[in-house]
Amino acid sequence: MQTKILLDEEQIPKKWYNIQADLATPLDPPLHPQTKKPVVPADLAPIFPMELIKQEVSRDRYIDIPDEVRDIFRLFRPSPLFRAHRLEKFLKTPAKIYYKWEGGSPSGSHKTNTSVPQAYYNMKEGIERIATETGAGQWGSALSFATKIFDLDCTVYMVRTSYEQKPYRKIMMQVYGAECLSSPTTRTQSGRAMLEKDPDTPGSLGIAISEAVEDAATHDNTHYSLGSVLNHVCLHQTIIGLEAKEQLAMVEEYPDIVIGCVGGGSNFAGISFPFAGDKITGKHPDVRILGAEPAACPSLTKGLYAYDFGDVAGFTPLMKMFTLGHDFVPAAIHAGGLRYHGDSPIVSKLVHEKVMEAVAYHQNEVFLAAQTFARTEGIIVAPESAHAVKAAIDEALICKKTGEAKTILFNNSGHGNFDMSSYDAFYQGKLVDYEYPAELVKEALAHLPAIP
């Protein structure tokens, strides 16, 4: 029985897959935050390099990966695909469980798949510094690494809760030469406004995004970089699913179910879009695609599909997505990377159109699944990734009841080596299974911007 399925360096994909080419109808366009009219490239040029702006709107099915980027990818790609034999045996399931392991990158997660090309395109345009936000710290770590590779400075606004829960992520960013700040800060107008409103705020990705965008917009040598949600980010992450398809073909498999955890949607898009393309085009119409999110931040399962800002201050363009409201401040759960009020517009569209589906979990059941995975497969996964583990286990147990030998693929998006305080809280019984109240969701959604 083959456990590890490997590709050679020469098999690193040379192109990203752009699912926009296969959508039945185009995405609703992003809108300018002031005029509410469709955004044009000139609106985005102050904070993004033009090549990323082109990728954001492109409907070309495949987009070339620069050779310089592929050279950096050789440090950690292709990533291995594993068959979880020991987990299958423990669950007594006839299902076959495969997982793509993204924890071997320098930052320990899938985020490096987009931080490297983003830093590269900014370097090519002559940018000297990048400002960004980070939740659990995976994205901040990944961008800190990539900016150092291309000799750029980096400022990271890290959500206060995660900054306090995950100090080693901050140190990791500092090792790579980046500046890491606890958000909200007193450095930006949006940060000061939030602290004046609530000095004890746990922070949120929406707040940190406001600070990073403001930073970039007020410095000529600085651009902004986002680690999830946007089309070009999802595009870069498809390298995961493209490799997985090739690896599964080597053992003559195709998944019945594809699973990823969902915060903003980048790792979920990365594993699923190449398979979603097969579903949309009729090549494999029956493949199920499942996103797993926290019950404390249930954007796909309880949010509204509507235009909303990507940040609290309203600096970003308005995007059509599933949202809990841009001023939503989630509970301080330990899956910090999944604490975002909205989702990728493409992921949202595909969920809205029933191409994909979503499920929400409480954090104690998620950590219990992560424990099962660690005790069978040996890998301690990040709290975010553990949501995908939980969904995969649930689907495998359904197969146990039905007797179906389905093939399950999930994206194991990162390691939990810097999340020991979260596991410690789990073992001490300190994790609270918080489900965001329906009335608070309704209140947050009442503040959505009016669209003509």
CATH of 16-66+111-228, one of 3.40.640.10, 3.40.50.1100, 3.30.1330.10, 1.10.287.470: 3.40.50.1100
Strand-pair category, 357-361 with 222-224? unpaired
**Strands 96-101 and 81-83, how do they pair?**
antiparallel
Give percent above pLDDT 90 in the chain. 85
Q: Which of 67-81, 323-337, 411-425, 427-441 has the highest mean pLDDT?
A: 67-81
Residue 271 and residue 100 in contact, taking contact as beta carbons nearer than 8 Å: yes
Domain with CATH 3.40.50.1100 in the chain: 4-8+73-108+232-445, 16-66+111-228
State whether residue 212 is helix, strand or coil: helix
If you ran DSSP here, which 8-state letter would residue 349 be given?
Answer: H
Secondary structure tally for the chain: helices H, strands E: 19, 15
The pLDDT, as a whole number, for residue 161 is 87
Longest C-alpha distance within the chain, in Å? Answer: 61
**Among all chains, which residue has been given the structure tokens 């689907």?**
395
What pLDDT band is residue 329 in, cutting at 50, 70 and 90? confident
Task: For residue 363, give both structure tokens.
Answer: 């954090």
Query: How far, CA to CA in Å, does 278 sit from each of 59, 193, 241, 242?
Result: 16, 46, 12, 12
List phi, psi (to 5°) of 181.
-120, 145
> 278-316: per-residue pLDDT in tens?
999 999 999 999 999 999 899 999 999 999 998 888 888
Query: pLDDT exceeding 70 applies to what percent of the chain?
Result: 98
**Mean pLDDT (whole number) for 18-26:** 97
pTM: 0.95
> For the packed helices 420-427 and 363-377, what is the interaxial angle rounded to 10 degrees?
110
Class (C level, CATH) for 4-8+73-108+232-445 = alpha beta
82, 188, 424, 441 from 254: Cα distances, Å: 14, 49, 37, 38
